[in-house]
Structure 1
Amino acid sequence: MSQGNPDIRQQVEANRGALKKLQLLIPGLRGYRSKEDIRVSDELLRNQAADRLDRVKKNLEEIRRQLASSNDLTNITTIGSLVSQVQGVSGEVRHAAQGYAGWVAPITINEDKLNKLYDYDYAFINSVFQLEEATSPANLKYDSASPNSIQASLGELGRTLGDLKQKWSMRMETIEGIALK
């Protein structure tokens, strides 16, 4: 996949118990088990992304505390908006649909679509890693002697977060093939 991050699907397959391995041998259950394993992998991946977004929020809240203690009201609104947006995206990611499709669903979610969903979420988490890195204490610093110095960084974070939110909003539409082109 990328950057030395493991493909969780392989770990889920390796950790199958005896019952799950038996299900793979039964024709009616084989497809169900394979799809369910991909769903589990995707959920684990999304939870990791949400955890990282929670760290981004924590980093931004630390900067907000510094702004408040310096009475910097110019930047506190901007950082508050970023915190709120990150919290919203984190919740959406953590509680997103897993690609279930009932017997008579209008859109079928087959194994290929589930794998695409996983790949999409995997690429998304790499964007989350970049956002986390950008908000780390080593990269996002506030200097109370020069309050305007953080504005460019906050503007860039706003654009990066906007791109991240756009990627997330296109997730299911892209996977289901119903996105407008």
Structure 2
Amino acid sequence: MSDIRDEVVEDRGVIKKIQLIFPGYHGYRINEDLRDADIILKDELYKRMLGIIDQLKGGEAALVRNGIFKNLDLLGVSRSKMQTSAENLKHHGAGYSGISAPVRVTTQKISALYDLDMKIFDQIQSLESSVRAFIAGCEAGNLDIAKLQGVNAALANIDDLNNSRDRLLYGGV
């Protein structure tokens, strides 16, 4: 995935370019552009997670078509956890860089948030691979618990990274 931060900088309009000239706005504009890039990336992460959830639903339907009902509840639990993770990704704070914000979020912190979200992006790609392997088994009529555990482990990695956001922003809250 290309670096969205560069795309946001390239898409600056006239007013945003003028803001860069004024000393009081220069740092603010740079921080807001970084924050916008992180928000765009988080939206993409959320969309990918929803796509993975849809794939799991397809795997569940394939199992039902093949008459496999045992342990479907485990798949439902995984799907529910994945939905929760997706919502957490979508709604987690991006770091406000305002002039009088209660917690100062520096350019370095906002960049670190973006880098964290790129790590989550990489983990989502790993999750997609795990889900594809699991679904291939479902379509063949096999609910492979070990592969489902691999899906859950990949999801746990995403949750761990996302939960580190507050520590990054607020220093151990």
Match of 2:78 among 52, 75, 82: 82
Q: For residues 104 and 64 of structure 2, what CA distance do their matches in structure 1 show?
A: 50
State the TM-score, normalizing by the size of structure 1. 0.86
Aligned residue type for 2:37: S
More helix by share: 2
Q: For residues 133 and 153 of structure 1, what CA distance do their matches in structure 2 show?
A: 11
* Structure 1 unaligned blocks of 5 or more: none
Distance 1:93 1:104, change over 3 A: closer
> Which residue pairs with 2:10 in the alignment?
14
Aligned residue type for 2:13: G
* Structure 2 unaligned blocks of 5 or more: none
> Which residue pairs with 1:115 in the alignment?
111
Q: Secondary structure at the match of 1:72?
A: coil
Q: For residues 170 and 87 of structure 1, what CA distance do their matches in structure 2 show?
A: 19
Aligned residue type for 2:49: L
Q: For residues 42 and 112 of structure 2, what CA distance do their matches in structure 1 show?
A: 14
Query: What is the RMSD of the two structures over their aligned residues, measured on CA atoms?
Result: 1.9
User: Post-superposition shift, 1:112?
Assistant: 1.0
Segments ≥4 residues shifted beyond 3 Å: 137-140
Distance 1:59 1:137, change over 3 A: farther
Q: Map 1:1-181 to 2 at 5 A.
A: 5-100=1-96, 103=100, 105=102, 107-136=103-132, 140-142=136-138, 143-144=140-141, 147=142, 150-178=144-172
Q: Secondary structure at the match of 1:141?
A: helix
Distance 1:168 1:140, change over 3 A: farther
Sequence identity percentage: 25
User: Post-superposition shift, 1:104?
Assistant: 5.4
Distance 1:115 1:104, change over 3 A: closer
Q: For residues 104 and 123 of structure 1, what CA distance do their matches in structure 2 show?
A: 27
Q: For residues 97 and 8 of structure 2, what CA distance do their matches in structure 1 show?
A: 21
Q: Secondary structure at the match of 1:136?
A: helix
Q: Secondary structure at the match of 1:178?
A: coil
> How many residues are matched?
171
Distance 1:177 1:116, change over 3 A: same
